[in-house]
Structure 1
Amino acid sequence: MSYFNRRGIFLQKLGPTIVDPREVLVSMQFALKETDHDEHGAPTDKLLDSSEFIASSYDGGQTFKLNNARDVDGDGDIDHADKEKLLALAKAYASIVNP
């Protein structure tokens, strides 16, 4: 997140595991950053309105499943389009070799 843009997405790729070498999990956290000052006047950052989603794949990252979704396209409802956007983000991030 930058000084000018308070919204951010944090992505983390987990897996494969010893138990299932084809398992890939992508953790996606959406948050707003707020800068405040502590009692000594030092700037501090905190994350607000944080939402976390876990996309799971058991075929090496070719296809993903997502248990929950939220309105990410801003049209006011949670529908198939929202879920597809989150799944596309997970698949794209999982395909990056050295993020």
Structure 2
Amino acid sequence: MSYFNRRGIFLQKLGPTIVDPDEVLVSMQFALKESSLGASGTPSEKLLDSTIYTASSYDGGQSFSIGTARDVDGDGDIDHNDKAKLLALAKAYANIVKP
């Protein structure tokens, strides 16, 4: 997140593991950043309205599934399009070799 943009997405890829070489998990954290000055004048930052989704794949990252979702596309309803956007983000990030 930059100084001018308070919204951010943190992505983390987990796997494959020795136990299951085809398992890939992608953790996606959506948050808002709030910057402020502390009592001593030191800058501090904290994350607000943080939501974490975990997408899982058991075929090496070819396809993903996700549990529940919320309205991530801003159209006012929770539907297949919201899950599709989260799954597309997870698949794209899983395919990046050197992030």
TM bucket normalised to smaller: over 0.9
Aligned to 1:21: 21
Number of residues of Structure 1 aligned to a counterpart in Structure 2: 99
3-state SS of the aligned residue for 2:88? Answer: helix
Q: Which amino acid aligns with 2:85?
A: K
Deviations 1:20-50 (A, max 9, x none): 0000000000000000111101110000000
Aligned to 1:52: 52
Shift of 1:18: 1.1
Identity of aligned residues (%): 77
Shift of 1:95: 0.2
Within-5 A mapping of 1:69-80: 69-80=69-80
RMSD: 0.5
Q: Which amino acid aligns with 2:2?
A: S
3-state SS of the aligned residue for 2:8? Answer: strand
List runs of 5+ in structure 2 lacking aligned partners: none
3-state SS of the aligned residue for 1:81? Answer: helix
Aligned to 1:41: 41
Whole-Å Cα distance in 1 between the matches of residues 68 and 18 of structure 2? 26
After the TM superposition, which segments of 4 or more aligned residues of structure 1 sit over 2 Å from their partners? none
Q: Which amino acid aligns with 1:61?
A: G
Q: Which amino acid aligns with 1:63?
A: S
